[in-house]
Amino acid sequence: MDDEIAELRNPFPSPPSHYTKYTTQNLKLLALLKERAGDEQEPSQHTVLNDQHDLPDWPLIQLEKPRVDWILDEKDAYYEVFGDRWFVKDKIPSLEELGGHQLYPSDPSIDRRPALQAVLRSVLVTYSSLMGSLLAPPPINPEIPPDWQHHVEWINVLSQNLMAAANDLRPIQAREHLETMMKRQLQLRREETRMIHEKCDSLSTKLAELRASIQASLTEPELKSTGPSKSRVDSASKQLNRIRTRQATYRKTMFLSGQSKYSHREKKHTFLDD
């Protein structure tokens, strides 16, 4: 019961029980058996390895890897994993191989569109007949199946043909999708490359502007050195200082004269009040 609960809890299938046999000791015994037996077919491991200890009861040949060449030589090559059979060359079985009623040609080189269009028209006509048969009264004899049952069975067959034809187109659809995806990736790469080139061009323009500004800044000291001499600058600054000094003296004189007039008027008003 506990094993069943553990099996239900595990979402993956349990490995085969003989995986515990692949120990280091058993693999060494297998290599020694091959070395001593040589080309002998089905050697007795107890006879060949009589000097070894801890020989297993089961044959060591079970530890050999499966022969892939034997699998590929078969017509329908397959292998089994955890009890499931997998074919080496994956092939989608046709509806006819699965036991269904196939209404379109199995040969992929033949155009299937006329047959599939006929199947689609048959689906529409049968569906219309099914709607009419549902309005009919039930049959008197219960052993006779009603008409709607035949229509449903035929619609089921037609639907199976449409689904099988769509499944046959899966490889073509995958190929077209892969081609579209690769074209899209190529387009994105080209757009990214174009953006990188534009960015490089803009950076080159900025670098050229910076180079020009640096060259202009380097030529400014030369222009300053060719300007007016220092003596002329000193004389001009002295004249400017003289003008500023005269202006300050004139303002101070005007301020003092204004104060003296104001004080004389105050004295005159005081004398009259007295």
pLDDT at 266: 46
Is the confidence at residue 267, as pLDDT, over 80? no
Q: Which of 92-106, 211-225, 247-261 has the highest mean pLDDT?
A: 92-106
The better pLDDT of the pair 114, 43 is held by 114
pLDDT band at 235 (very low <50, low <70, confident <90, very high): low
Could you tell me the pTM of the whole model?
0.42
190 vs 92: CA distance, rounded Å: 38
pLDDT at 254: 59
- Mean per-residue pLDDT, 201-205: 88
pLDDT band at 185 (very low <50, low <70, confident <90, very high): very high
Cβ atoms < 10 Å from Cβ of 107: 7
- Mean per-residue pLDDT, 148-165: 91
According to DSSP, the residues that pair with 86 across neighbouring strands are 79
pLDDT band at 32 (very low <50, low <70, confident <90, very high): confident
The better pLDDT of the pair 47, 83 is held by 47
Residue-wise over 221-237: b if at least 16 C-beta within 10 A, else e?
A: eeeeeeeeeeeeeeeee
Least Cα distance to 149 among 136, 135, 130 occurs for 130
CA-to-CA separations, 76 to 84, 92, 168, in angstroms, rounded: 15, 13, 20
Q: pLDDT tens digit string along 240-249?
A: 566 666 666 6
Write down the domain spans for the chain. 2-65
| Strand pairing report for 78-81 and 84-87 | antiparallel
Is the confidence at residue 229, as pLDDT, over 60? no
pLDDT band at 10 (very low <50, low <70, confident <90, very high): low
pLDDT at 262: 45
Is the confidence at residue 93, as pLDDT, over 80? no
79 vs 75: CA distance, rounded Å: 13
